[in-house]
Structure 1
Amino acid sequence: MNHQKSEALFAKACRYIPGGVNSPVRAFANVKEIPLFVDHADGAYLYDVDGNAYLDFICSWGPMILGHNHPLLVNGMEEVMRKGISYGLCTPDEEHLAKLICDAYRGMDMVRMVNSGTEATMSAIRIARGYTKRNKIIKFEGCYHGHSDCLLVKSGSGALTFGTPTSPGVPEDMVKHTLVCRYNDLASVKEVMEQYPDDIAAVIIEPVAGNMGVVGANASFLKGLRALCDEYHSVLIFDEVITGFRLAYGGAAQYYGITPDMACFGKIIGAGLPVGAYGGKKEIMSCVSPCGPIYQAGTLSGNPLAMHLGTLLLDYLKTHPHLYTELADKGHYLKTGIEKLLQEKGLPFQVHQCGSLLTLFFTDTAISSYDEVKTCSQDMFTTYFHTLYEEGILLAPSPYEAMFLSDAHTKEQLDYVLDKIALALDKVKRL
């Protein structure tokens, strides 16, 4: 494919933007490519500035559950914008969207809108600490909760070792209260809880990890976390920035049948516009200013455009529950198709699928935690990515991201993808 215009734009962008991108995940450096510059998108397709068309399986990192440019969301948008694009004041859609979220999600009594998933998790941690009057939190290696200081941490030498900063610029003092445990390893969490029985404010987890590839938590593990948090009076936080309203209308809480104390959302609740939210039990959320003493604010939180589109989308998803079954069926169809190809070619790789989320792991190791994920081959993924990219299939340029399906993807398109995956796997096998 010709990428001349993208190359020229990237060269210009590098003069003014660090690395030429506004988020590292867009860099494509991991697969030895320049970033793709988008012109427009429609349905299941995305079109770059050079006129190349791609079947899009990034879907704006999840929120485009109906596909791009859906009439439900774009028709009438000009009229909404003419009323005003920002007020910094309350609008009716804020209440409507908040009610939709609370009605949909187990144990969600109140919700506060913010502007990103990072802001949502950062705020939830603060609220949990203020509510419990404790400082320490538990997170899990391989789970990404945004780039706030206390959550930008990698594990130490063991479950009881405090984490170390993942990035320069994060002081060690900022993560000294963050303990990192092993995903799907309840014993590691019990050990921490027993050592700090009165100090753990919260346990935060992606119930289906989407940032080390798609790795679902074992149901028994999540049930165990729920029980431990009850026993030690800690707040259980589900980070549903990826899974909320995508895995199921009620998110992973509905999928697993487990009720957390708090949950965080992003992306999809604004139909793709910048947005986030956190919420939970009334007794916890009543501590948030101006009701209570814990301060959290956002001048543009509840932006009217995001609230309008989010209300339209969640209303639609609520009244079309069959969409989730159809998306899961598409995910299963793609998974079984890839597994059949792997078997035919004698390749021992792993395919994980949860609803409309999918990842092919280039390893023969069974995966349930970040340690196993790290055994994947970057070289194999790079070859796989490039082959599909040149065939007009766009995946996230990282082996540790999800493949997102949308309502706009058709069976015929999935069959085309499987044909090209067969070609890509042949190339991988020759490495």
Structure 2
Amino acid sequence: MGHRDPEIEEVVRETTEIAWSFGAAEPYSLELAELISSRVPWAEKVRFVNSGTEAVMSALRVARAATGREKILKFDGCYHGHLDSLLVKAGSGLAGESSSDSAGISATSIANTLVLPLDDEASVERVFETEGKNIAALIIEPLPANYGLLIQRKEFLLKIVETARKYGTLVVFDEVISGFRVGFQGMSGLLGIWPDLVTYGKIIGGGFPVGCYAGKKDLLDLVAPSGPVYQAGTLSANPFGMRAGLATLKKAQRDSIYSVLDDRTKIFTDTMTKLLNKKSNQEWEAVIHSSLFWFRKKTQQPIRRIDLIPEGHKESFAKVFHTFLKNGIYLAPSGYEVGFLSWAHDDEIIAKTLEIADKALKTF
């Protein structure tokens, strides 16, 4: 919705007069959970936490409890929060070996994490042939958007889901970025591929520190107090996040924002790409999906894996970023970060941004 949407801000102001935190269930969390479940069929039950990281951590704990297995399979180029076991990257070869992606992570923390390249069904099948009986969950961003916008083939996603289920492995879709952003049902709904568990982030709380994990009733029933899986948090489902989330999701349903944002994003990126190509000594293109966009050096083939990102892209984008920043346009600072258009980016703001960009690029 953008920064300080007036409608959502009013709800937040009202909340200061109602309640700050109960540390217990209250009617707003129930209403938000019911709204999500009523529109997202695979979210039969919902549990609220404080962040996307917590949502992923909890979903994987449920998967391990449900399967009695320990290993997790993830994909290079997907980000699932800063928990130790998933802050890993692929090692050498295609056997799923992994290495830590940060200092301070012990070898034992990542011992049960397998990492494979995106867009490679064969490597997934090979790993399941040897490790299938040990893999509790396969986790993936159905729209990888943390290392560039790496739009995946539907055939690839269908195949890895089919392979996982063949071996009794649960499928977890990390929709912290794509959920309720590309459409009310996220990528799962657009693709028609239902996960066993799904994670959402701050968008369900109107931008406040909120996350949730959801899925089939029999899986969520494993969580305490109805089951043996522990998960709790004093500020989980606090009134600010729940009421702001209700206002956000109701507005998203009411105002047909998705089709409008799709159109605005295409207009913005088409014009910006033309400006970049007119002023630059290299050819640029915009990769877009819904309201997400990523400017990068043009390539002959779609980029679906991080190892195919053109050499020198980071440095080329840095020049664009600083040129725009000096003139009052703030893009995501890294060449690997994805940009987003929000409801606040109306036609007037987009036109003004493009006007400034045209002038700024005269010095490029």
TM-score under structure 2 length normalisation: 0.94
1:406 matched residue in structure 2: 342
1:374 to partner: Cα distance = 6.1
1:71 to partner: Cα distance = 2.1
Do 1:112 and 1:278's aligned partners in 2 also have CA atoms closer than 8 Å?
yes
- Say which SS state the counterpart of residue 75 (structure 1) adopts: helix
1:287 to partner: Cα distance = 1.0
Tell me the percent identity: 40
In structure 2, do the counterparts of structure 1 residues 359 and 423 end up closer, same or farther at CA, with 3 Å as the change threshold? farther
Which whole-Å CA distance do the structure 1 matches of 2:316 and 2:327 have between them? 17
Unaligned runs of 5+ in 2: none
1:123 matched residue in structure 2: 58
2:263 matched residue in structure 1: 329
Which whole-Å CA distance do the structure 1 matches of 2:316 and 2:308 have between them? 16
Which whole-Å CA distance do the structure 2 matches of 1:239 and 1:276 have between them? 11
Which whole-Å CA distance do the structure 1 matches of 2:362 and 2:53 have between them? 39
The within-5 A match list for 1:297-312 is 297-312=232-247
State which drifts further: 345-354 or 215-224. Answer: 345-354
Do 2:297 and 2:310's aligned partners in 1 also have CA atoms closer than 8 Å?
no
1:140 matched residue in structure 2: 75
1:390 matched residue in structure 2: 326
Which whole-Å CA distance do the structure 2 matches of 1:82 and 1:408 have between them? 27
2:304 matched residue in structure 1: 368
Do 2:200 and 2:212's aligned partners in 1 also have CA atoms closer than 8 Å?
yes
Unaligned runs of 5+ in 1: 1-65
- Say which SS state the counterpart of residue 197 (structure 1) adopts: helix
2:221 matched residue in structure 1: 286
Query: Are 1:95 and 2:33 counterparts?
Result: no
Which whole-Å CA distance do the structure 1 matches of 2:263 and 2:125 have between them? 37
Which whole-Å CA distance do the structure 1 matches of 2:160 and 2:299 have between them? 29
- Say which SS state the counterpart of residue 103 (structure 1) adopts: helix
State which drifts further: 398-407 or 330-339. Answer: 330-339
Which whole-Å CA distance do the structure 2 matches of 1:236 and 1:204 have between them? 6
1:376 to partner: Cα distance = 4.4
Which whole-Å CA distance do the structure 1 matches of 2:94 and 2:355 have between them? 44
The within-5 A match list for 1:56-95 is 66-95=1-30
Which whole-Å CA distance do the structure 2 matches of 1:205 and 1:228 have between them? 14
Do 2:96 and 2:116's aligned partners in 1 also have CA atoms closer than 8 Å?
no
Q: Which of 158, 176, 182 is 1:241 aligned to?
A: 176
Do 1:264 and 1:276's aligned partners in 2 also have CA atoms closer than 8 Å?
yes
Do 2:12 and 2:243's aligned partners in 1 also have CA atoms closer than 8 Å?
no
Do 1:127 and 1:294's aligned partners in 2 also have CA atoms closer than 8 Å?
yes
1:380 matched residue in structure 2: 316
Do 1:384 and 1:427's aligned partners in 2 also have CA atoms closer than 8 Å?
no
1:33 matched residue in structure 2: none
One-letter code of the match for 1:334? F
Do 2:145 and 2:337's aligned partners in 1 also have CA atoms closer than 8 Å?
yes
